[in-house]
């Protein structure tokens, strides 16, 4: 990872490494939209179609705020640690993730050990790990299409559920230094949202939080699920091998704070995402044959058609039918996904 960065670093202007506090303007706009949308649902008697439309806008805003929280907590918007954590906590409030947990889970572990079967908290399991898990083995007896349907449906809750799991995975390390702060950051979002339920009642709460948070999860996980899940497991943290950049319309990149540029992010997590088109141009100039990118919906389609268990790191295996699938850099083509038989002697 550092080797790639050293090749590109001399080509970059020094200003590119400075924080970009103007990104907070976008966050403020989303906060205003959320406040207005919630107020309209709570204070006015509007029809179901209107409330659903507002819930959709709120859900889109929740997801976008999560993307901004991601870059804030990487220190690319403001440098001051206290302000960074405060703003990151606000941005992640709809998805109920505390800043200390995110930095520990995402910045320090996922980025340092990307696509390491044992050390990356977000990596999918190898066949060896799969064979040790009885319940998962039962799930994989179901047909691939059914598992894909379930997995894609579960994207609407996956981010929030995974964040709760990560809190307990890293709980001991998080509480060693600041136990009160850690517990507060975990409990406060849930207290806030369920307190709102007690105040406004379930019907209105469903439109101002429950439906929006499902939509927010779906949007966030629509990107996150493509970040690495088509890439192989790797023994060395190589972002050009273990990460995928997806392409979306320019207007969506603006609204989602350039979250689609994921390979660029893993190469330079300390550079604000607004500069990632520049990083991408340099990667394509230096290593075009190693760079992985595809349209977002093509990547999601490839995820639908492939299983999530790794076989010998470089292939994906469906134990149900004993079929293997290629991964990126090892022959996967999003427009031509063809499984092949797992040899019996393997």
In order along its 346 residues, the chain shows pLDDT tens digits of 788 989 999 999 999 999 999 999 999 999 999 999 999 999 999 999 999 999 999 999 999 999 999 999 999 999 999 999 999 999 999 999 999 999 999 999 999 999 998 899 999 988 888 888 777 888 888 888 999 999 999 999 999 999 999 999 998 888 776 788 889 999 999 999 999 999 999 999 999 999 999 999 999 999 999 999 999 999 889 999 999 999 999 999 999 999 999 999 999 999 999 999 999 999 999 999 999 999 999 999 999 999 989 999 899 999 877 889 999 988 888 888 888 887 655 5
Q: Using CB atoms within 10 A of its CB, is residue 193 exposed (0-12), middle (13-18) or buried (19+)?
A: middle
Looking at residue 286, what is its pLDDT?
A: 95
CB atoms within 10 A of CB 344: 6
Residue 49 in tokens: 């179609």
pLDDT digits (tens, 9 = 90+) for 251-294: 999 999 999 999 999 999 999 999 999 999 999 999 999 999 99
- DSSP designation for 93: G
Q: How far apart are CA 335 and CA 254, in angstroms?
A: 27
How far is the CA of 80 from the CAs of 102, 104, 108, 120, 204, in angstroms?
A: 17, 17, 18, 27, 37
Looking at residue 177, what is its pLDDT?
A: 67
Q: How far is CA 185 from the centre of its chain?
A: 20
List, as one string, the DSSP characters of 47-65: -HHHHHHHHHHHHHHHHHH
Looking at residue 130, what is its pLDDT?
A: 86
Q: Using CB atoms within 10 A of its CB, is residue 42 exposed (0-12), middle (13-18) or buried (19+)?
A: middle
Looking at residue 345, what is its pLDDT?
A: 53
Looking at residue 140, what is its pLDDT?
A: 84
Looking at residue 141, what is its pLDDT?
A: 85
Beta strand spans in 233-342 (E):
245-247, 293-295, 309-311, 315-318, 323-326, 340-341
Contacts of 185 (CB under 8 A, 6+ apart): 89, 98, 99, 100, 101
The pairing of beta strand 340-341 with beta strand 323-326 = antiparallel
Contacts of 139 (CB under 8 A, 6+ apart): 147
Q: How far apart are CA 132 and CA 17, in angstroms?
A: 45
In this prediction the pTM is 0.92
pLDDT digits (tens, 9 = 90+) for 170-197: 988 887 767 888 899 999 999 999 999 9
Q: Where are the domains of the chain?
A: 2-123+146-301
Alpha helices of 201-275 — where are they, by DSSP H? 202-205, 211-227, 239-242, 250-255, 262-267
Q: How far apart are CA 95 and CA 63, in angstroms?
A: 8
Looking at residue 267, what is its pLDDT?
A: 95
CB atoms within 10 A of CB 212: 25
């Amino acid at each position: 990872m550092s080797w790639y960065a050293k090749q590109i670093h001399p080509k970059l202007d020094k200003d590119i490494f400075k924080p970009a506090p103007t990104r907070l303007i976008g966050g403020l706009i989303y906060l205003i939209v959320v406040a207005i949308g919630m107020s309209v649902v709570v204070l006015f008697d509007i029809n179901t179609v209107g409330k659903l439309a507002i819930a959709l806008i709120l859900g889109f805003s929740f997801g976008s705020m999560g993307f901004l929280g991601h870059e804030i907590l990487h220190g690319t918007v403001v440098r001051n640690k206290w302000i960074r954590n405060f703003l990151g906590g606000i941005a992640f409030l709809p998805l109920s993730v505390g800043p200390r947990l995110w930095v520990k889970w995402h910045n320090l572990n996922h980025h340092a050990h990307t696509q390491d079967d044992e050390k990356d908290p977000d990596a999918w399991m190898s066949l060896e790990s799969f064979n040790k898990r009885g319940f998962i083995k039962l799930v994989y007896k179901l047909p691939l299409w059914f598992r894909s349907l379930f997995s894609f449906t579960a994207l609407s809750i996956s981010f929030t559920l995974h964040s709760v799991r990560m809190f307990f995975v890293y709980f001991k390390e998080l509480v060693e230094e600041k136990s009160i702060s850690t517990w507060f950051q975990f409990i406060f979002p849930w207290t806030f949202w369920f307190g709102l339920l007690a105040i406004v009642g379930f019907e209105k709460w469903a439109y101002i939080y429950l439906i929006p948070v499902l939509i927010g999860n779906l949007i966030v996980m629509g990107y996150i699920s493509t970040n690495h899940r088509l890439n192989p497991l790797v023994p060395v943290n190589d972002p050009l091998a273990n990460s995928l950049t997806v392409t979306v319309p320019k207007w969506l990149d603006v609204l989602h704070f350039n979250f689609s540029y994921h390979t660029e992010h893993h190469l330079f997590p300390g550079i604000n995402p607004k500069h990632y088109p520049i990083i991408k141009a340099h990667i394509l100039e230096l290593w075009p044959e190693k760079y992985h990118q595809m349209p977002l919906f093509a990547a999601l389609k490839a995820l639908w058609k492939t299983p999530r268990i790794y076989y010998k790191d470089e292939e994906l295996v469906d134990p149900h039918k004993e079929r293997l699938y290629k991964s990126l850099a090892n022959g996967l083509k999003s427009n031509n996904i063809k499984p092949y038989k797992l040899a019996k002697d393997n």
